[in-house]
Amino acid sequence: MSILKVLLSILLPPLGVFMQVGLGGTFWLNLLLTLLGYIPGLVHAIWVLAKGSQPRISHA
């Protein structure tokens, strides 16, 4: 988690999420949460950044 992503997430939560995961469902969810209220968007953005890009395990 870089300092730049954290600072951008504090100023504009969707921008920090976009830099972490790209233009996908997580970004759109964060945009919606931010439009509904700054705090929910901020909490979600920090959670996405803290979670990082962990490999997903498939149980097929």
The Cα 22–Cα 6 span in angstroms is: 15
pLDDT at 53: 62
Q: Collect all residues with Cβ–Cβ distance below 8 Å to 5 and sequence separation of at least 6.
A: 16, 19, 20, 49
Please state the pTM of the whole predicted model. Answer: 0.79
Please give the DSSP secondary-structure letter assigned to residue 53: S
pLDDT category of residue 59 using cuts at 50, 70 and 90: low
Tokens representing 47?
Answer: 């959670």
Per-domain residue ranges of the chain: 3-51
pLDDT at 1: 54
d(CA 48, CA 60): 26
The answer to whether residues 17 and 27 touch, using CB atoms and an 8 Å cutoff, is yes
Tokens standing for residue 16: 């920090």
pLDDT per residue as tens digits for the range 5-56: 888 889 999 999 999 998 999 999 999 999 999 999 999 999 999 987 654 5
Question: What is residue 54's predicted lDDT score, i.e. its pLDDT?
Answer: 57
